[in-house]
Copies of this chain bind each other. A is one copy, B any other.
């Protein structure tokens, strides 16, 4: 839900992070990025992709709408650049289908690389065929009006996570994570390290080494007083 809406407003220009950083975070994926930034910024698990292979990363254009009203998504389209992702919230809970294949076509025409919406979505077969990735709370054919003011590029809360315009959004089959713009470069570097380390771990675990030994957990179990029993009673 959106915050601080004293007056409805559209912020036309936002600061964006480095494109290479966004791309690096996208390659790392949600689980790695979430770990790399100290397990922060993850949206709640009810946000699901509309098709299994959906995967993207981009820069957040935030939109705060009245439930059942997509007027401000149209207003937001004037502020997007290539590589952006729309992050749409409503001022109270809604499952209405606020976005369909027409808006999807418009997004692709303007280089928008995905949609994260804490509400409903429709025309999912078309959006899948267009390869336009969407993460949503619900799928619903229920359409919306264009009647009430809202805001574009203000701070919002989307599925439990704070999103500021210009933040990096990374989304894949595991969910959606938000990386604050100013930390994006640092997180990307930490993510690289994590991936390198995981590569090694994977090799050793594949070779049959136990996590108990690998992570040195035997001492921990002993310290916690976990008892070993040889045979089932």
Q: How large is the interface on A (under 10, 10 to 19, 20 to 34, 35 or more residues)?
A: 35 or more
With an 8 A cutoff between CB atoms, is A78 at the interface?
yes
Residues of chain B within 8 A (CB-CB) of A177 are 141
Quick one: which of A200-226 are within 8 Å of B by CB?
A: 201-202, 205-208, 210-212, 215, 217, 220-221, 224-226
> Does A71 lie within 8 Å of B220, measured CB to CB?
yes
Closest B residue to A34 using CB positions: B141
> Does A4 lie within 8 Å of B232, measured CB to CB?
no
The contact sample of 22 A-B pairs, CB cut-off 8 A, is: A3-B162, A5-B39, A12-B230, A14-B232, A29-B125, A31-B141, A35-B143, A42-B141, A51-B52, A52-B125, A71-B220, A73-B211, A74-B210, A75-B217, A75-B221, A92-B94, A97-B174, A102-B198, A103-B205, A105-B205, A145-B148, A153-B232
